[in-house]
Amino acid sequence: MAAAILHSLKQGAYTAIALYVVFIAVVTVVSLNPQLNAPSSASAQASVVALDRAVDRAKVRAS
């Protein structure tokens, strides 16, 4: 009985360590490749267009 419990704990520890290693690898890859973390170009272009419109409105209000 005790051997089964010990074996189960050991397997759980191995699983936790493996998941931690995978997590660290994913975080490392994403941090080294910022384009994976960046928004898509379509949404970035939409943001630029919205910003340009806001600047144009501010210029009109200022004059």
Q: Are 25 and 2 found together in one domain?
A: yes
- DSSP secondary-structure letter at 38? S
Residue-level pLDDT at 52: 75
List C-alpha distances in Å: 59 to 25, 46, 48, 53, 55: 48, 20, 17, 10, 6
Q: Are 1 and 28 found together in one domain?
A: yes
Q: Are 5 and 25 found together in one domain?
A: yes
Segments of the chain scoring below 50 in pLDDT = none
- The angle subtended at Cα 28 by Cα 26 and Cα 32, nearest 5°, is 120
* Model confidence pTM above 0.85: no
Q: Are 5 and 21 found together in one domain?
A: yes
Number of domains in the chain: 2
State the residue range of the domain holding 54: 39-63
CA 30 to CA 17: how far, in whole Å? 20
Q: Are 47 and 63 found together in one domain?
A: yes
